[in-house]
Amino acid sequence: MSTEKFWKELEGVHSAMLSIGSARHVPMSPYARQDDRAIWFMTAQGTGLVEAVTNGETDASLIVTGESNIHARIEGSAALVQDRAKLEELWNPVASSWFDGIDDPDIRLIKLTPAMAEVWLTTGAMGFAFELVKSKLTGKEPDMGEHFSLTL
């Protein structure tokens, strides 16, 4: 598995569970950017994630599962970033539902720089069901896709 394929698969992910330091995992919209070697998040001042980073906690964990063909546990470091150009690049209708416009003073960007990822690539729900049925008919173990780890 190449790192390029990893990043390409992440581009299709719209929801994942992010934790930073002692802040519990919460659902977030990730914005994977291979050129930055980062996964970006928009959140608000006062959230547990922002408080964790503000208090010097940087160890981050991202759990990706369910909506696409990639399932992953991604570990890395998180930082708060003030970058208007990056905010403008990431801004979208989903973000606008959570904030009072792009100039909302509570918006915070979190940059997750991945260090490692444990990844499972599957063929999706239909492929999973097909493999289970096939295994029952043939007596062979189902092909559940690729599983590997990456150092990023």
pLDDT the model gives residue 131:
43
Residue 147's contacts (CB-CB under 8 Å, 6 or more residues apart) are 118, 119, 120, 121
Which pair of tokens denotes residue 145? 């896709």
141, amino acid identity? E
- Residues 27, 79 contacting (CB under 8 angstroms): no
pLDDT the model gives residue 68:
73
pTM value?
0.86
Percent of the chain surpassing pLDDT 70 = 84
Query: Residue 132 — very low, low, confident or very high, per pLDDT cuts 50/70/90?
Result: very low
What are 103-130's pLDDT values in tens digits? 999 999 999 999 999 998 876 544 444 4
Average pLDDT over residues 41-47: 97
CATH number at residue 14: 2.30.110.10
Domain of residue 65, residue span: 3-151
Query: What does the mean pLDDT of the chain come to?
Result: 88
Number of structural domains the chain divides into: 1
